[in-house]
Amino acid sequence: MTSLSVIVPVKDEEGSLPQLYKELSSTLKKISAPYEIIFIDDGSEDKSGKILSELKKKDTRIKIITFRGNFGKSAALSAGFEKAKYSTIVTLDADLQDDPHEIVRLLKKLSQGYDLVGGWRKNRIDPLSKKISSFFFNKGTVFISGVKLHDFNCGLKVFNKTVADSLHLHGELHRFLPILAAKMRFKVAEIEVIHRPRRFGKSKFGFERSWRGMIDLLTTIFITDYATKPAHFFGRIGFILFLSGICMDGYVTYLKITTGSTQDKIPLLLAGILFTLLGVQLISTGLIAEMLAHYLLHNDPAIKKYKK
């Protein structure tokens, strides 16, 4: 029988918490499996903490983790993963836009042999600006990561505890849970889920998250694809720059030898020198990083996370 640890990050959601608990507990009772609900109060400044305390008095299956301040969703999820005791993890947002009743369908998909199943908010109920931003974010993420999903940042997901134990979230990496799991060779899938309009509070979304998201995406790709082979990353870029610089300077040298003049190609000569030096530096950086990775692979117990 599946046992569930439901993890819900909370930041100023006093209006939605009572209804969320009602819907969530109703759904979990229908599943007829052992469960716990872990709320992480991520520095709420409203009455969220008080409401959670009142709910805990009524339901012993509720656990509360309280942060001293706002440390972000990745930190909240990490704390929840560490606290969770059951074999299957469920995550969802506290704003009621995720429908708790969809958990049943996600669990059914998970039982078909997958390690992580996420929600796809195909008919998303959000402002147009948020839809556009999300569209480009998801398309860009597919292009860069190679993981073919439609919705990476849906808060509603179910996955095995082994996946959660393999993840080390920081910054904004919670948005890339499916990528992190897929790169560790876990089986990942998604299904369409209902998305509802926000009824209470304000969205935590801001345009400043867009550029941070791109940086975090590159971080995710680097630590998953190149963590154990950094020379491939730095060396590839360095080799391209080095070869480009050699070609530029070779062309100017050819002109000087055959015509006796650089034909006003001094800027090209200087660019070639710059590219050559940058290429050598990046190749050297890759080799140094490779030595460090080799040391860590043979001395750091954390490498066990890559093993089955």
Predicted confidence at residue 169, as pLDDT, reads 80
Examine the pLDDT at 302 and tell me if it is beyond 50: no
Predicted confidence at residue 72, as pLDDT, reads 87
Q: pLDDT higher for 202 or 180?
A: 180
Of 56-60, 166-170, 212-216, 227-231, the range with the highest mean pLDDT is 56-60
Examine the pLDDT at 225 and tell me if it is beyond 90: no
Predicted confidence at residue 110, as pLDDT, reads 95
Predicted confidence at residue 272, as pLDDT, reads 93
Predicted confidence at residue 64, as pLDDT, reads 96
Q: What amino acid is encoded at 238 in this protein?
A: G
**Among 214, 205, 193, which residue's Cα sits nearest to residue 138?**
214
Question: Quick one: 45 exposed, middle or buried, by C-beta within 10 A (0-12, 13-18, 19+)?
Answer: exposed
Cβ count near 137 (within 10 Å): 19
Compute the distance between CA of residue 205 and CA of residue 209 in angstroms, rounded to an integer: 7
Q: pLDDT higher for 209 or 266?
A: 266
In this structure, the strands spanning 116-120 and 35-41 are: unpaired
Predicted confidence at residue 308, as pLDDT, reads 43
Predicted confidence at residue 300, as pLDDT, reads 53
pTM of the model: 0.75
Query: Token pair for residue 16?
Result: 């939605």
Examine the pLDDT at 294 and tell me if it is beyond 70: no
Using alpha carbons only, how large is the chain's radius of gyration in Å? 25
Query: Token pair for residue 276?
Result: 């050559």
Alpha carbon distance, N-terminus to C-terminus of the chain: 23
Average pLDDT over residues 160-173: 85
Predicted confidence at residue 54, as pLDDT, reads 95
Q: What string of DSSP letters covers 269-296?
A: HHHHHHHHHHHHHHHHHHHHHHHHHHHH
Cβ count near 264 (within 10 Å): 8
SS3 label, residue 186: coil
Average pLDDT over residues 51-67: 94
| Among 71-80, 286-295, 297-306, the least confident range | 297-306
| Among 89-93, 191-195, 233-237, the least confident range | 233-237
Share of the chain above pLDDT 90, in %: 54
Q: pLDDT higher for 161 or 209?
A: 161
> pLDDT class for 168, splitting at 50, 70, 90?
confident
Predicted confidence at residue 303, as pLDDT, reads 44
Examine the pLDDT at 203 and tell me if it is beyond 50: yes
Examine the pLDDT at 235 and tell me if it is beyond 90: no
